[in-house]
Amino acid sequence: MTADHLLLPRRVRFDLSRSPLHWIPHDPDAAYVMNSIHLLLPAGEFWFCRVYNQALPYVKDAKLRADVQGFVRQEAIHARSHETALNDYLRRHGIEIDTVLRAAHFVFDGLLDQKLTLKLGNNFIARQVQKRMARWQLRQRLAIIAAIEHYTCILGKWVLEAEALDAPNVDADLRDLFRWHGAEEVEHRCVAHDLHAHLGGTTLERQAWAVVAFPVLMALLAYSAKHMMNQDPAVGGRFFFTRWERASRRGTLPTLESLVGAALRYLDPDYHPDGEASLQDALDYFARSPAVQAALARERAAA
């Protein structure tokens, strides 16, 4: 992470009351895939915050500590913004999303929040074993978050650069919601990797969890997007990844090849997220984001 850059929360608000369901005109497939990423994220982002609050007491470096705190504040706002603005927007358009939200909560609040325990009784050795297991489990969770954050950085960089989304008939509020989130993912891209390493995480742990995370994330994404597409008579019935590939040729989704390439890059032992995107690109977007500028104006008025 850049030595002198502070991660600050931006208290943005989004009004999607006028946003159409097909917010990328003539490309509902891309809109459903992007909506589904952001439908799944809040459960994950709240889980990130819980794990990071557990990790914080072990962070000895002052700059990393500030980055972790900044990361938690940003992710909490991401999760709340999507829960309030995006979920209400989809429900208002008659899309049933509770099935997808239940799947996301099953993964992040059920599966990944399970605590490993051994019934060894209450004695010195049992307490030491339990303590070491808790620390090991915390490190595995940090490795999982680091892998997910690699993909959120890749998607964040893509959404900032996707020229097809600059078309004037793309809904400006949803575009700003996704780009503000993407820019903050680019901005805080190094925190998860650096925190995992700081707490003794190994390259092998990082690689192993990435191998698991990529197919699981793609499966969740396909399940969520298909669940919404199946409710929309305007969307045809081709194979999900064929539809994705067609949208990527129109420039409204990243290519599947680029995502597989990003997954392979993460396995490089010398990988570091700093080289994956540019902080300046994120800062440039904040300077022109209507929601970020409105949030700054509200803060100035309240000061």
- Cβ 74 to Fe ion, closest distance in Å? 7
Q: How far is the CB of 98 from Fe ion (least distance, A)?
A: 22
What is the rounded distance in angstroms from the CA atom of residue 157 to the CA atom of residue 163? 12
Query: Could you tell me the smallest distance in angstroms from the CB atom of residue 18 to Fe ion?
Result: 25
78 belongs to the binding site for Fe ion (CB under 5 A): yes
* Measured distance CA(179)–CA(174) in Å, rounded: 8
**Window contacting Fe ion (CB under 5 A); options: 4-12, 145-153, 193-201, 280-288:** 145-153
Span interacting with Fe ion, options 67-75, 86-94, 111-119, 280-288, rule CB under 5 A = 67-75
Q: Using the 8-state DSSP alphabet, how is residue 165 labeled?
A: G
- Decide: is 185 part of the binding site for Fe ion (CB under 5 A): yes
Q: How far is the CB of 196 from Fe ion (least distance, A)?
A: 14
Distances in Å between the Cα of 258 and the Cα atoms of 105, 158, 189, 293 are: 28, 10, 18, 32
- Is 150 among the residues that bind Fe ion (CB under 5 A)? no
* Smallest gap from residue 121 Cβ to Fe ion (A): 40
Q: Residue 53 or residue 128: which is nearer to Fe ion going by CB? A: 53
Residue type, position 188, single letter:
H
141 binds Fe ion (CB under 5 A): no
Supply the minimum distance, in Å, between the C-beta of residue 287 and Fe ion: 20
Number of residues forming the site for Fe ion (CB under 5 A):
4
Q: Which residue is nearest to Fe ion (CB)?
A: 78
Q: How many CB atoms lie within 10 A of CB 62?
A: 8
Encoding tokens for residue 172?
């400006």
Span from 57-65, 90-98, 177-185, 201-209 in contact with Fe ion (CB under 5 A): 177-185
Please count the residues of the chain.
303
Phi-psi region of 26 (alpha: psi -120 to 50; beta: other; left: phi over 0): left
Residue 111, classified by CB atoms within 10 Å of its CB into exposed (0-12), middle (13-18) or buried (19+), is exposed
Residues that bind Fe ion (CB under 5 A): 75, 78, 152, 185
